[in-house]
Structure 1
Amino acid sequence: MPVDHPESLPAARRPHRPDDRQPSLLEPGASTDPYRLRLYRLLRTDYPLAYDPGLGAWLLSRYPDVAMALTDPRFTGYPHDGAPRGPLPAPLGLCRGSVVCTPLPGDAAAPGPAAARARAIERTAYVLARRVTRRDRVDLVAEFCRWLPAGAAAAAGPSRPEPRALPPGASHPGPGGGTGDCAEHPALRQRALASFLANMLDAPDLLAAVRGGPEPAGLLHRAWAETLRRDPPVQIVLRRTRTEVTVSGGTLPAGEPVACLIGAAGRDPARFCAPDRFDPLRADAEPLLTGPAGCPAGLLGRLEAEHGLRALLAAMPGIRWAEGFRPVSAGLLTRGPRTLLVRPS
C-alpha cells in the first residue's frame, strides 16, 4: 500500500476556507457524475481538507482520512453524538452514518432466520426473472431491482428473535431480520444491486464464468465487495469531531461536522491500483469498504446480488445490453443507475 499520496500537498496547521477555485458538492453537474466531472479527483489532489458552505461541513476525500474518520474515536456519529461505534462501520453505501449494526441471527447456510431470508431471496429472484424473460427489452431497475428486496422480505415473513438474544444496547429487529436502521433502507440495496448488475453486464468474461458452471470460488462475493468500493450507493457519510484532528491538508477543529466522501475514497489512486476499473480479483481489496461480517444490510445486499444475477442468467442466458444503451448513474448523497435496459436473449 503506498504511503504517500501521489499528489500530496504540504499540510497547513489550519484548513483554508473556500476560494474561487475550490469545487463544491452542490455545483452544477456534481450530482450527475462527480467522477467524470473530476470533482472527487480535484478535491483529493488540491483540496484534501475543504469547507463546503453549501453542505455546511468539512470534506474529507482521501482514503486514509476517510478511514480514520469512520473508525477513530476522535470522531463520532452525526448528528447524533451518542451514536454507537464499533471497530468497523456498517457497509459504506448500505448504512447511513449512525446506526446500530447488529448481525443477523443464524447463518445463511444453517436453519434459522438468515437461512429463511436467503431462500426467500432466491425464490423471489427466480420468479421476477421468469416474469420478464419473453420481452424484447427489459428495464432491470424498474422490473427487478426495485422488487427483489421488498418481495424477498415479504416472502420471508416476520423474523423476530427473542429480546434476550440481542446484544446489549441493540435495537429490536424489524420484520425480516433487519435491525435498527441498518436493514431498513431497501432503496439503498436496490441501488447497490443495480450497480452490481451494471458492472457484471459490462464484464462478459465474468458473466461467462458465472453462467458456464461452478463459478470460481468467491467470485460473486468479491464482485459485490468491489461494487461497494467502486460504486457505493451512499456517497457521503457524516461524522463530527470530538477534538482537534490532523488530517491531510490541515487540522479539523473540535465539534465540527465532517462529510466523508465515500465515493472519492473508494477510488483514491494512492490506495487502489487502477481505481476506476471494476476488478473483483484485485489484490488490494479493502474490508473497511464492506463492513463487519454479519451486518444485515451487507448480508442481505450480497444475497440479493448473488441470487439475483444467477436467476437472471438462468432465465436469460443470452442477456445483454439493449442496442445503443449505456448505464448512467446519478445522485449526490445516494447514487446508482436509474435505468438498466437489456435484451433477454
Structure 2
Amino acid sequence: MTTLPQPPDILSPEFAADPYPGYRILRAHYPLFHDPGTDSFLVSRYEDVARAFRDPVFTTDNYAWQLEPAHGGRTLPQMSGREHSVRRALVAPAFRGRELREKFLPVIERNARELIDAFRDAAETDLVASFATRFPINVIVDMLGLDRADHDRFHGWYVSAVGFLANLAQDPEVAEAGRRAGRELSAYLLPIIHERRANPGDDLLSTLCTAEVEGTRMNDRDITSFVSLLLSAGGETTDKALAALFRNLLAHPDQLAAVRADRSLIPVAFAETLRFTPPVQMIMRQTAAEVTLSGGTVPAGATVTCLIGAANRDERQYARPDTFDVLRGDLSPATAFSAAADHVAFGLGRHFCAGALLAHAEVQVAAGQLLDAFPAMDFAEGAAPADAGVFTRGPEHLRVRLAPGEDPPDGLIPRTPQPPRDSR
C-alpha cells in the first residue's frame, strides 16, 4: 500500500523557505484541502484556481476583513456588479492606452533613470534596496502629483500595508501597523484631495477627483482607499516581479544574453517570471453557495485560498513547469497582461488586475534602462538568492556586481518600447 505524503503546513518555516514541493503534493494528492491554520480551503490546480477567479459563485466578500481595515474603505477588489463596473471605469483609463503612453510613461522613465543614476558608477549594489522596492512607489507618488520629498514616507506606508495583507498568522502588531498606515495616509491625502477638487491639474489624483461615469463620482473615502490599494497592490507586484525577473535571468545567463540582444523579449521574460515565481502567491475568495471542484466540495460561506504559485506550475497546464524558460511555447506574451492571460498571477475575469499594463510598462522601462546602464551584471555573492514570503514572495536582497556602460549624452535618454495597446 502506498502511503500518501502529509499535506504541507503553509504557515510553517519549511513551507516559507520553499513552497513549491508543498504545492506539488497539494496538486497531486490534496487538490482541495481544508487548512486548519488559515481555516480555509486550499485550491492548487490551474483549472480550479482559474474557475475561482472567473465564476461569480466565488465572491470577494472576504476582503471586508482582509483588505478594508488597512485601506480604510471599500476598494475595487471587494465590489461586484454595477458598483464594480462603474468604479473600475472611473479609474481604469489612467492605467492603459493613450493616458498611460503619453502622460505617465515619461514619469516612469524619469524615475527609473534617477534611481539608476544613484548607483550608475558603483561596482555593486543591492537591486532590491536601491531600485526594485523604491521604483514603483516613486512612480505612483509622481503619477498622483504628490510631493516628491515624501517618497520615503510613502515607502513606509507601503511596507506597513503590505505587511497587513500578508499577515496570515494574524500578528497583532503587524495588523495595527497596517491600520495605522491607512489612517496616516488618509489624513495626509484629504486636504490635498479637497484642493485638487477646487483646482484640478493634469495628475492622477486630479483625475480621480473629477472623473464621472453614469452620474457617479468618487468621494473622499473612495479616493483615499484607492490610493492605499494602489500603493500596496501596485507597488508589491512590480517590486517583487522586478527583483525576481533579474534574479531569474542572472541564474540563466543564456536567457539573459537573449534578452540583452533582443529587448522585445523583456515582456516575454516578465510573463515567464509571473508564471515561474509570481510575486503574489495566493488570493482568497469566499463561496456564495456550495460548489464542487476537482478535489471535492466547498460549502457555502467558506474561505477559499487560491494558490497562484501552485497553479502557475501545474504540470497539467505547462510543459516542464519547474523550469524557467522565456521561450516556452505554452505561455503567450501577447495576452499575458490582459484578462485572457494563460497564467493566473494577475487573477482572471472581472477582477483581473486593473494595473497590469502599468506593471508591464514599469518593468519594460526599468529592465531596459538597467540593461543599458550595465552591459555586464552577475551575482555578487556567487549564487542566486532565495525568495522569501508566503502570501507575497520575492528576493529580499539581490546583490549584483556591475559593469557600468557609457552615460547617454545630455538630452538623449534611450527611449524604451511603448507599452502594449489595451484592446478593451
The two structures have a TM-score, normalised by structure 2, of: 0.65
Aligned to 2:236: 187
Superposed counterparts of 1:16-55, under 5 Å: 21-35=6-20, 38-55=21-38
Q: Distance in 2 between matches of 1:130 and 1:40?
A: 40
Q: Distance in 2 between matches of 1:72 and 1:109?
A: 28
User: Structure 1 residues 315 and 174 mapped into 2: Cα distance closer, same or farther (>3 Å)?
Assistant: farther
Structure 2 residue 93 is the aligned partner of structure 1 residue 105: yes
After superposition, what is the alpha-carbon deviation per residue over 1:28-74, rounded to whole angstroms, capped at 9, x for unaligned?
Answer: 31112111xx1111111111111111111011011111111111111
Displacement of 1:133 in angstroms is 2.3
Amino acid at match of 1:305: V
User: Structure 1 residues 297 and 43 mapped into 2: Cα distance closer, same or farther (>3 Å)?
Assistant: same
After superposition, what is the alpha-carbon deviation per residue over 1:276-331, rounded to whole angstroms, capped at 9, x for unaligned?
Answer: 12223322224352457995431222222111111111111112221423221011
User: Structure 1 residues 263 and 100 mapped into 2: Cα distance closer, same or farther (>3 Å)?
Assistant: farther
Q: Distance in 1 between matches of 2:275 and 2:353?
A: 17
Aligned to 2:135: 148
Structure 2 residue 235 is the aligned partner of structure 1 residue 252: no
Q: Distance in 2 between matches of 1:165 and 1:180?
A: 21
Displacement of 1:166 in angstroms is 4.5
Mean Cα deviation higher: 123-132 or 266-275: 123-132
Structure 2 residue 372 is the aligned partner of structure 1 residue 326: no
Match of 1:135 among 122, 139, 149: 122
Contact 2:263–2:368 (CA<8 Å) still a contact in 1? Answer: no
Provide the alpha-carbon RMSD of the alignment. Answer: 3.1
Displacement of 1:262 in angstroms is 0.7
User: Structure 1 residues 167 and 142 mapped into 2: Cα distance closer, same or farther (>3 Å)?
Assistant: farther
Q: Distance in 2 between matches of 1:101 and 1:76?
A: 20
Structure 2 residue 118 is the aligned partner of structure 1 residue 125: no
Superposed counterparts of 1:1-345, under 5 Å: 21-35=6-20, 38-80=21-63, 83-85=78-80, 104-105=92-93, 110=98, 112=99, 115-156=102-143, 157=145, 158-159=203-204, 160-161=206-207, 163-166=210-213, 181-182=229-230, 184-185=232-233, 186-212=235-261, 215-216=263-264, 219-285=265-331, 286-289=341-344, 290=346, 295-345=353-403
Partner SS state of residue 152, structure 1? helix
Q: Distance in 2 between matches of 1:199 and 1:103?
A: 33
The two structures have a TM-score, normalised by structure 1, of: 0.78
Displacement of 1:100 in angstroms is 5.6
Partner SS state of residue 234, structure 1? coil
User: Structure 1 residues 325 and 50 mapped into 2: Cα distance closer, same or farther (>3 Å)?
Assistant: same
Q: Which has the higher contact order (CA 8 A, sep 6+)?
A: 1
User: Structure 1 residues 181 and 139 mapped into 2: Cα distance closer, same or farther (>3 Å)?
Assistant: same
Partner SS state of residue 281, structure 1? coil
Displacement of 1:27 in angstroms is 2.6
Displacement of 1:201 in angstroms is 2.3
Contact 1:101–1:182 (CA<8 Å) still a contact in 2? Answer: no
Partner SS state of residue 181, structure 1? helix
User: Structure 1 residues 107 and 334 mapped into 2: Cα distance closer, same or farther (>3 Å)?
Assistant: closer
Instruction: Give 1 or 2: higher helix fraction.
Output: 2
Amino acid at match of 1:235: Q
Identity %: 37
After superposition, what is the alpha-carbon deviation per residue over 1:87-115, rounded to whole angstroms, capped at 9, x for unaligned?
Answer: xx9xxxxxxxxx969663257674x3553
Amino acid at match of 1:244: E
- Kindly tell me the number of residue pairs found equivalent between the two proteins: 308
Q: Distance in 2 between matches of 1:174 and 1:109?
A: 22
Q: Distance in 1 between matches of 2:94 and 2:355?
A: 15
Amino acid at match of 1:84: M
Structure 2 runs not aligned, ≥5 long: 65-76, 146-202, 332-340, 404-424
Aligned to 1:8: none
Aligned to 2:193: none
Q: Distance in 2 between matches of 1:253 and 1:291?
A: 22
